[in-house]
Amino acid sequence: MTQRAHATVLLGLLAALLAAAVVPPSALGITRDVVLARGKVWVDARVPYSQTAWADESGGRVANSSLGYRTDCSGFVSLCWNLRWPDGRPRSLATDTLRGVSERIGKNDLLPGDILLKPKTTTTSGHAALFVGWVDPLSKTQYVSYEESGSSKGAVSRIVPYPFFEGGSGYYPYRYLGIEEDYLAQVEPVRGYDRYETAVKASRSTFATGAVETVVIASGADWPDALGGAALAGAHDAPVLLVRPDAVPSAVRAEIRRLGATGAVLLGGEAAVSKAAEDALAAVRPGFTVTRVGGRDRYETAAMAAAEAVEAARGRGKTPGGTVFVASGLAFPDALAASPASAEGVRPILLARPGSVPAPTERALRAMAPAEAVLLGGDPALERSVLESVRSLAPSVRRLAGRDRYETAAAVAAWSAERGLSWKGTGLATGADFPDALSGGVALAERGSVLLLTRPDRLAGPAAAALTANAAEVERTVCFGGMSAVGSDVRRAVAVILGFKG
């Protein structure tokens, strides 16, 4: 059990007080991140179980029910959902009354912030546990819960067999009516409490247990060496996982074990990922091998990753797509927009300076002799001199560009959809930072879908236009990252475009 990754959650400011317990969901504005953050406060404080005591949001003991929530299982859920009387006082429901503010859902609909509930009856006791996430989203046999349990030392986080221990008779999943982010038919959230966990969640949502031989590892702290990871991951049918420059997060170690990987390709030199982190990777499991692919700079590292990707693809009986992308080495958005197409067709991403093609990139183009080179981004990201230099190295050259990173990403998505990818499960990631788009793009390649970029606080116009134009084909979007990366306003806008009527 200890080797499995527990689902973890965002920590931050608590939501503002809600006016009432039972009102339409659109009026409440509580998100799943806030529900889990409230619960984690009590879990961290190990609030003792009691049916006759109360605690406030910080986990501190208070005198009565006007000041806090009852510290039993249903009082804990009431805290997490921020249930309140009309005058603002905390409202602690019981297991047989929680159904009055929630609705029963199916197992496959469960998302973080929902609950597993066994209502109390005249002959049996009840219990409620907050659902944090699946241990394995593919098998869905175990989940991580937050709960107040009379048989344990206070509020705990633990792994629970679905639907609950001892067969789970009488337990069913329920969803609070006040969840703001209730766009489940249109939006699939893939997120963790930070970039490292989000990459793990992207992997868990895509790759089966024991199905990956080699993982691709990149720094989660900086992007230059990571940009070449997509094609390499596609060649290995593997995820991109992120590590800190000097350490390997426990969730990443657990994911490597779950995948059954026997080796890793580590992108970048020791300035990007230290020798200490490399050694920690090698110690993840017996016999685990780490191959570092790192050059003197980002341009050489990208060229080395491209060559490694082509070799690995051929070694696995794949034929690289014959296309090479060329992107700016001074910014990440344009390269990341192409990550699904790069991974899906083993189309390497090489880097150039705004006004010139570096020697490692030129050598890589000559060695690969691609049938087509696609420049990502317009002038000044890649000036005309770069286009002309690449034209002398590839028989066919074209440029995919827009007025900004969001329009360029939409153009890349349209190009990708013409070459085998689909709008069906379109991905959405922030264009303001790199990690979620990197790991998410590779996951989308496995799903066969394109990627769009957006602003964190509002849906970018080009992304909205692309979704609107292809709404008939888009079945559901996949949002990578938490609310700080792809905010609730973005998710609601996507859901409305795809038919949400709430």
Measuring CA to CA, which residue among 230, 292, 221, 229 is closest to residue 263? 292
Question: What was the pLDDT predicted at 26?
Answer: 30
Measuring CA to CA, which residue among 407, 384, 318, 394 is closest to residue 350? 394
Question: What was the pLDDT predicted at 183?
Answer: 77
Confidence of residue 16 (pLDDT cuts 50, 70, 90): very low
Q: SS3 sequence, 218-270? A: EECCCCHHHCCHHHHHHHHCCCEEEEECCECCHHHHHHHHHHCCCEEEEECCC
Cis peptide, bond prior to residue 24, ω within 30 of zero = no
Confidence of residue 166 (pLDDT cuts 50, 70, 90): confident
pLDDT by residue (tens digit) across 39-96?
999 999 999 999 999 999 999 999 999 999 999 999 999 999 999 998 889 999 999 9
In the predicted model, is pLDDT for residue 186 greater than 70? yes
120 with 93: CB under 8 angstroms? no
Task: Find the range with the poorest average confidence among 143-152, 176-185, 419-428.
Answer: 176-185
In the predicted model, is pLDDT for residue 24 greater than 50? no
Q: SS3 sequence, 184-224? A: CCCEEEECCCCHHHHHHHHHHCCCCCCCCCEEEEEECCCCH
Question: What was the pLDDT predicted at 217?
Answer: 98
Q: How large is the average pLDDT for residues 142-162?
A: 91
**Percent of the chain whose pLDDT exceeds 70:** 93
Q: What is the residue whose two structure tokens read 């580590």? A: 266
134 with 190: CB under 8 angstroms? no
Please give the structure tokens belonging to residue 260: 């059954």
In the predicted model, is pLDDT for residue 8 greater than 60? no
Question: What was the pLDDT predicted at 1?
Answer: 33
Q: How large is the average pLDDT for residues 23-28?
A: 31
Question: What was the pLDDT predicted at 391?
Answer: 96
422 DSSP β-pair partners: 449
238 with 441: CB under 8 angstroms? no
Q: Are strands 102-104 and 172-176 parallel, antiparallel or unpaired?
A: antiparallel
Q: In 3-state terms, what secondary structure has residue 153?
A: coil
Confidence of residue 151 (pLDDT cuts 50, 70, 90): low
CA separation for the pair 41, 83 (Å, rounded): 16
In the predicted model, is pLDDT for residue 10 greater than 80? no
- The model's pTM is 0.72
Burial degree of 346 (CB within 10 A; 0-12, 13-18, 19+): buried
Task: Find the range with the poorest average confidence among 276-280, 380-384, 387-391, 485-489.
Answer: 485-489
Q: How far apart are the first and last CA of the chain?
A: 40
Measuring CA to CA, which residue among 196, 266, 233, 152 is closest to residue 5? 196
Confidence of residue 181 (pLDDT cuts 50, 70, 90): low
CA separation for the pair 321, 42 (Å, rounded): 52
What per-residue string of b and e applies to 157-180 under the rule 16 or more CB within 10 Å gives b?
bbebebbbeeeeeebbbbbbbbbb
465 with 455: CB under 8 angstroms? no
Cis peptide, bond prior to residue 163, ω within 30 of zero = yes
CA separation for the pair 390, 399 (Å, rounded): 11
313 with 235: CB under 8 angstroms? yes
Q: What is the residue whose two structure tokens read 């930072």? A: 433
The alpha carbon of residue 198 and the mean position of all alpha carbons in its chain are separated, in whole angstroms, by 4
In the predicted model, is pLDDT for residue 204 greater than 60? yes
The type of residue at 420 is G
pLDDT by residue (tens digit) across 86-135?
888 999 999 999 998 998 988 988 989 999 999 987 777 899 999 999 99
Q: How large is the average pLDDT for residues 242-268?
A: 96
The DSSP result for 87-131, as a single string, is TS-B----TTTGGGGEEE--GGG--TT-EEEE---SSS--EEEEE
Computed over every residue of the chain, the mean pLDDT equals 90
